[in-house]
Chains A and B, each alone.
Chain A
Amino acid sequence: MVSYRTPLGRARGLGSAKHGAGHWVSERISSIALVPLVIWAVYGVLRLAAGDYGFAVHWVQQPLNATLLVLTLAISFWHMQSGMRVVVEDYIHKALTKSALLLLNLFVCGLAGALAIFSILKVALGGA
């Protein structure tokens, strides 16, 4: 049967979806943001490790600390979701196992990140 579709028409939709670099770029952007945030977080852990519960609550209630904590957590969980996704895609080749692990990775990061950020906001806004 003769196809009346043009070569261009047949090729359309089979190639790049034009967002192939999106994952790569988002990993880079989150890593650039995490450079200063992680250095700040190491300093934060040092302060918190030396203090007790009262100090931790007081520390988290500072607007700058609360903001940087939320940003560090959100970007970290996004970044690690991206990274683990590549690890799964590289090593797991069974379609069902791969999909299950990718979903698990996404849900673990989403749930843990949301719980952590909600907890910080609760303490920062005086609920603790």
Chain B
Amino acid sequence: MTEASSTPRERPVSPHLVTGGLGSPPLWRWHITMWTSILHRATGVALYVGALIAAVWAIALAEGPDAYALFKSLLGSIPGKVVMFGLTVCVFYHLANGVRHLVWDTGHGLDVKSANASAIVVFAFAAAATLAIWGIAGMTGAL
């Protein structure tokens, strides 16, 4: 009878996000494409709230000058501006990454190299468009 190997062969493990066990390193390195995927969903949920704010805007406008002035003063406050800035980032990120998804749906750009490159383009677009819009807002008296 041949002797069986004393140490069991290492079994293949499913790549968990967090860790392979207490103290062991993560089994899955964070990729930029994972960030773009998670952020697409997160910004979508944030824009859900943004659409509800847009609905409140329409209702306030139909309500009359007083309600509209109150709405504008709320959004014009510092917390309101922080929310609007965040929503601007979310709009442009979700827009750019949404277009990226539409391109993928045609079967193009799915290889790792292209996906990584388009991820960087999406981040760059979201940052540049947000800064441009807030720059224009500052120049046109929208702030």
Contacts and interface: CB of A to CB of B under 8 A. Distances in A.
A116 B137 contact: no
Nearest to B52: A112
Q: 8 shortest A-B CB distances, which residue pairs? A: A119-B62, A49-B142, A116-B55, A119-B58, A50-B142, A116-B58, A112-B55, A53-B68
A127 B51 contact: no
Interface size class of B (residues with CB under 8 A): 20 to 34
Interface in A23-52: 28, 31-32, 34-35, 38-39, 42, 46-47, 49-50, 52
A14 interface: no
13 contacts: A31-B98, A32-B102, A35-B98, A38-B91, A47-B142, A73-B58, A84-B48, A87-B41, A112-B51, A116-B58, A118-B62, A123-B62, A128-B64
B98 A84 contact: no
B82 to A, nearest CB: 15
B137 A115 contact: no
Given A31-B98, A76-B51, A46 B133 contact: yes
Given A31-B102, A50-B142, A84-B45, A115 B61 contact: no
Interface residue SS majority, chain A? helix
Contacts of A49: 75, 137, 142-143
B132 to A, nearest CB: 10
Contacts of A108: 52
Interface residues of A, number: 38
B95 A35 contact: yes
Interface string B104-143: 0100000000000000000000000000010011001111
Contacts of A69: 58
Contact of A119 (B41, B48, B61, B137): B61
A119 to B, nearest CB: 4
Interface string A41-74: 0100011011011001100100000000100010
B58 A80 contact: no
Interface string B82-102: 000000100100010011011
A87 B42 CA distance: 10
Contacts of B44: 80, 83-84, 87
Interface string A107-128: 0100011011111101100011
A120 B58 contact: yes
Given A116-B58, A128-B64, A80 B95 contact: no
